[in-house]
Structure 1
Amino acid sequence: MVEEKWVALSNTTIGVLMATINMSILIIALPAIFSGIHLDPLKSNSFVYLLWILMGYMIVTAVLLVTIGRLSDIFGRVKLFNLGFLIFTIGSILLYLTPGKGDTGALELIFFRIVQAVGGSFIFANSYAIITDNFKKEERGFALGINAIAATAGMSIGIVVGGILATINWRYIFLVSVPVGILGTVWSYLKLKETSPKIKQKLDIPGNITFAGGLIILLVGVTYGIAPYKSSPMGWGNPWVIAALIIGAVLLVLFPFVERKVKQPMFNLSLFKIRGFATGSFAGMISSMGMMGFMFMIIILFQGIWLPIHGYHYASVPFWAGIYMLPMTIAMGIFGPIAGRFSDRHGQRWLASFGLIVSGIALLLLVLLPADFIYIFMGILLFVFGAGMGMFTAPNTAAVMSSVSPDVRGSASGMLTTLRNVGTTASMGIFFTILILGLTTSLPHTLSSAVISAGGGSTLAGEMSKLPPTEAIFAALLGINPGTVILGLLPAHVVSSIPTSAQHIIEARTWFPTIFAPAFIKSLHIVFYVGAAIVFAGAIISILREPLSKSKKTKADKKSAKDQSELPDKAVKMKR
């Protein structure tokens, strides 16, 4: 009979992998989805739908994780984990059956993705805690490493899976989760045993309202901040965005003061007094910022420039972008479990910190690559970046979860994953803003000159230079020729005056990537520098964590170690 700890590890890992794959599976599949629901990507509101379909899932999980983690400590982690599998499966079925078309279909997709995200939140919030409950301390790094790498690698796997399924039928993108969800739901209900010590507490209503309200409003502001607003390429000047950022920030600033007045707070601020928890959680948040920002920028580089220049048709570039990013996924899959096993024996502090340093160096070396790079060099750097993230994620997760006592592991798991998801969502705003600001500075002049050289005339050059660069990025993500998209956005009288020869040049596969490349690479270098600085900052925070030596441990660490060593016996007694 399979030991309960391996049942717990395999079940939670499948759940986390499924949930994270669905975070990124739509990135590559968006062209097929927009076509499937008959939504015109050139419509003015399509960019907002794009953002919500991609980021709505992240926002919901970021908001719910802490609350669910606290509920799991009260009602049982396995019980709520099982519920998450069920909700996620229902959400996947609803997405597969999406009946609407056009704007209605887009809104239905967003709503069903939120249902799916609720289920994913139950899975994310409890996975680390369930594994920590079932594994002894000397085995925990390896087990948490496998689970954590599944969460990280799922983002890359989703891109590939989405690309493959999108070529068959867009509905299969959601259907693929259904059998896995049904299997996981049945398996977890039948085999996964409850080991968490339930605590009698009430739900923190004021804290939930303040935290959820502040985070939702803030992240919505960030989402609309990177969308075009009137004649501006971004929406940071939109009064509603400014108001959302201010209100969200004020509520989040008030949140810790509210928690101090509540007898049983949802966000256990006392955990941040544990040095290992605080440093590991913030290092995890920062690493997630670097990881997600890096992935999106590389995807745009592949889809918008490198693949079209190298002969790939726009309809196929989303799929091939996922294939060419596989070295990063493979590296995380290799180094994650190895790093987890190594950290069990030799400690997490220096290995986790070294991993972030390796990823930061990879980001700096990427600056040396031109737009028309030789892939072998890109593949090596992707592998190095993934290896560094693998070396960091597993030991860091083990260190955080081992630093807290068993009765608060649900809260700790929820808080850790919430900070990671906040970092992931915030990185979208940070890196897209840097990229678009750089493009806004240099792209209009370059584009105008190129149009004149193509024989389009000064009128067309002037009109095209006014278009926001987000349209080009949007087109690249959707696998559509940006030249065709831009022409489609121009007034009819301008398009009708374009000579046929000029129109053919502008719509050629390599014309826009060649024009786009210099401005994009210049901005991308800034993104890589900022990303490297963020990752190195995470490494410094990781180094500051307290080493878990025999001679120096916090009281919480000692209590946790004592309780955790007894957990397998407790689980057997509970089962009996």
Structure 2
Amino acid sequence: MLFAVSMTFIDQTIVSIAAPDIVNELGLSASGMQWVVNAYLLSLAAFFALGGRLADLFGPRRVVIVGTLVFVISSVLCGCVPKGDFAQTWMIIFRATQGLGAALLFPAALAVVVAVFPVERRGRALALFFGLSGALTAIGPLLGGWLTSWTWRAIFWVNVPVAVVALVLTMMARVPNRRRDEPLDGVGAVLIAVGMGVSVLGFQQAASWGWDSAATWACIVGGLAVLVVFWRYERGRRHPLVNLAVFRDKAFTVDSLVLFFAMLAFVPVFFFASVYAQVSLSASPNQAALYLLYFFAGFAIASQWGGRMLDKQGARGPMKIGTIVGAVGFALWANKLTDLSMHDQWPYVALAGAGIGFILAPASTDAVNRAIGASYGEVTGITQTVRNYAASVGLAVLGTILTHRTTENVVSTLTSRGVSSDTANGVAKDIAEAVTGNGDARTPTGTGPAASAARDAMSSVRMDFAEANQWVFYGMAIALGIGYLIALRHPGGKGPAVTEGEPRSAPATPASPSEDGHRTSSGRASGPAARPGGTPPTSAA
């Protein structure tokens, strides 16, 4: 399963490193490149809940295989994009189908890991899962920098050998394929995909359309309205796409909210830190990747520690530690950004990573344990939807802040050097769009006094960008501070004991229909995730 999900983690960060080369070869606009990045996250957010439910209905092994194939075929097609007017559309379409493959693959893979480990060992197992998969996210920029020196297309083709290994190991491992004989809630699937997709689109495009644009708020409000309709529709369903009863458990709700605020920082930090390193520190793509490895040094150590704490005492402790350590780490990191020295920053980068490491596995695992009556695919689909929605919101809101502050700072620098206000605003907007849209930190080209002043002021612009990033990283610290206040509301404990029918050891072979029916029946009969209205268990037949 780690091989299977490694592709999805690598692709969250690898594209940002190659963005300038992709823009230059294909002639994409900065907004077009942002769409290439966003299409993947948008598709993830829209289809994660569906992926988790399909893992229950058709069995996680089948969904892992289908998701892997969709992902790797889309990767190959992204790498084969032709030059010309259709290039941007091609890239956006197949980045979106990549996201669909990841949305199918990840909840199913995580459900397998959850299912084969008993509750008392699940914390350490998922700490290892998230720790290694997180390390693979860090490899993305490093691998991207190395592959881009050959051709940026290789960042997509590298998924092919990984997918082959994943498929072979999945077949060899005799992965359990428990499934439920229930209908798929097609209307619910459409409603949540539209609601998530449209609202995330509004957040993503806010930087381009503007927060005062009617289109921005039409998407955000309209998408949230569709999600309200989805919530009301699901409450009356016999077999809903998402069993909303899981949120009646206070611990599950706290876990989900803490994950939401942690993910406002976790995924965005890869993009913002990478671009900061290349713009303000004048780092190469490879050096920017090494900068991010400090983050994962702290993340990997803390995730293992947090997993052991979860197994011994529950999730409340590691979540409280993680949110406060992360808030302090991001705040200290933000304070050091204007030093323009990677050497001076690494302790705070590692501290911020440690904070996220303490949170991620314990909160995700505790959510599954608390909702033990629900299916694993369903619950992991919910938590992953929350996580990716937060990542999209974080990228949008923090990206808008960064663009706004960068523009203001650059305008101030250029006007102080004698450039007129109108000209300075135009050049500042171009610079801000270039560095925040695709990480292009090269010296501005062109003729005229404005371009000349911009080239002369590049050293000051690098400081302007660092100061703008301080606002972003302080925002991440605030998000984790809010997460700490929420973690205080966690009821504590290790979650319910293993329910009847819950496997205490890894099954060696796929469960028989009778085992499936027994597990489903026991799960429905107890726990906070029992179906509302006393829905009878599905028969084994």
Same fold, TM-score > 0.5, yes or no: yes
Q: What amino acid is aligned across from residue 93 of structure 1 in structure 2?
A: V
Taking the aligned partners of 1:438 and 1:477, their CA distance within structure 2 comes to 14
Q: How does 1:545-564 map to 2 (within 5 A)?
A: 545-548=490-493, 557-558=496-497, 560-564=498-502
Q: Partner of 1:239 in structure 2?
A: 214
Matched, 1:33 2:22: yes
Q: How does 1:138-217 map to 2 (within 5 A)?
A: 138-196=120-178, 198-217=179-198
- The one of 465, 475, 488 equivalent to 2:425 is 465
Bigger shift: residues 18-27 or 463-472 = 463-472
Contact 2:211/2:217, CA 8 A, preserved across alignment = yes
Contact 1:299/1:321, CA 8 A, preserved across alignment = yes
Taking the aligned partners of 1:477 and 1:257, their CA distance within structure 2 comes to 38
The size of the alignment, in residue pairs, is 514
Q: Partner of 1:23 in structure 2?
A: 12
Q: Partner of 1:517 in structure 2?
A: 463
- The one of 423, 436, 444 equivalent to 2:403 is 436
Matched, 1:328 2:295: yes
Taking the aligned partners of 2:477 and 2:438, their CA distance within structure 1 comes to 28
The alpha-carbon deviation at position 470 of structure 1 amounts to 6.0
Taking the aligned partners of 1:122 and 1:223, their CA distance within structure 2 comes to 22
- The one of 358, 373, 380 equivalent to 2:325 is 358
The alpha-carbon deviation at position 483 of structure 1 amounts to 4.3
Taking the aligned partners of 1:479 and 1:533, their CA distance within structure 2 comes to 25
Q: Partner of 1:67 in structure 2?
A: 50
Taking the aligned partners of 1:62 and 1:479, their CA distance within structure 2 comes to 24
TM-score normalised per structure 1: 0.83
Q: Partner of 1:89 in structure 2?
A: 72
Q: Partner of 1:507 in structure 2?
A: 455
Q: Secondary structure at the match of 2:165?
A: helix
Classify 1:373/1:130 alpha carbon distance in 2 versus 1 (closer, same or farther; 3 Å): same
The alpha-carbon deviation at position 392 of structure 1 amounts to 1.5
Contact 1:482/1:512, CA 8 A, preserved across alignment = no
Q: Secondary structure at the match of 1:484?
A: coil
Taking the aligned partners of 2:21 and 2:404, their CA distance within structure 1 comes to 29
Taking the aligned partners of 1:271 and 1:407, their CA distance within structure 2 comes to 8
Q: Partner of 1:276 in structure 2?
A: 251
Matched, 1:47 2:30: yes
Classify 1:402/1:370 alpha carbon distance in 2 versus 1 (closer, same or farther; 3 Å): closer
Matched, 1:250 2:250: no
The alpha-carbon deviation at position 402 of structure 1 amounts to 1.6
Taking the aligned partners of 1:53 and 1:480, their CA distance within structure 2 comes to 15
Classify 1:369/1:357 alpha carbon distance in 2 versus 1 (closer, same or farther; 3 Å): same
Matched, 1:541 2:491: no
Taking the aligned partners of 1:374 and 1:266, their CA distance within structure 2 comes to 49
Taking the aligned partners of 1:390 and 1:214, their CA distance within structure 2 comes to 30
Contact 2:265/2:479, CA 8 A, preserved across alignment = yes
Bigger shift: residues 525-534 or 176-185 = 525-534
The alpha-carbon deviation at position 88 of structure 1 amounts to 1.4
Identity %: 24
Classify 1:298/1:466 alpha carbon distance in 2 versus 1 (closer, same or farther; 3 Å): same
Classify 1:376/1:51 alpha carbon distance in 2 versus 1 (closer, same or farther; 3 Å): same
The alpha-carbon deviation at position 389 of structure 1 amounts to 1.2
Q: Partner of 2:537 in structure 1?
A: none
Taking the aligned partners of 1:468 and 1:214, their CA distance within structure 2 comes to 35
Contact 2:299/2:357, CA 8 A, preserved across alignment = yes
**Deviation string for 1:296-342 (max 9, x for gaps)?**
332232122122xxxx5xxxx33321122211122222322232134
Q: Secondary structure at the match of 2:335?
A: coil
Q: What amino acid is aligned across from residue 20 of structure 1 in structure 2?
A: F
Segments of structure 1 that go 5 or more residues without pairing to the other structure are: 1-11, 230-234, 488-494
The alpha-carbon deviation at position 572 of structure 1 amounts to 7.2
Classify 1:271/1:481 alpha carbon distance in 2 versus 1 (closer, same or farther; 3 Å): closer
Contact 2:338/2:467, CA 8 A, preserved across alignment = no
Taking the aligned partners of 2:510 and 2:440, their CA distance within structure 1 comes to 57
Q: Secondary structure at the match of 2:231?
A: helix
The alpha-carbon deviation at position 503 of structure 1 amounts to 5.7
Q: Partner of 1:292 in structure 2?
A: 267
Matched, 1:302 2:248: no
Contact 2:127/2:306, CA 8 A, preserved across alignment = yes
Bigger shift: residues 472-481 or 529-538 = 472-481
Taking the aligned partners of 2:333 and 2:430, their CA distance within structure 1 comes to 23
Q: What amino acid is aligned across from residue 477 of structure 2 in structure 1?
A: A
Contact 1:132/1:402, CA 8 A, preserved across alignment = no
Contact 1:304/1:477, CA 8 A, preserved across alignment = no
Classify 1:344/1:470 alpha carbon distance in 2 versus 1 (closer, same or farther; 3 Å): farther
**Aligned-residue CA RMSD (Å):** 2.5
**Deviation string for 1:454-480 (max 9, x for gaps)?**
xxx64xx63232345364352466454
TM-score normalised per structure 2: 0.88
Q: Partner of 2:353 in structure 1?
A: 386
**Deviation string for 1:362-408 (max 9, x for gaps)?**
11212432523332331111111111211221222221122222651
Contact 2:275/2:435, CA 8 A, preserved across alignment = no
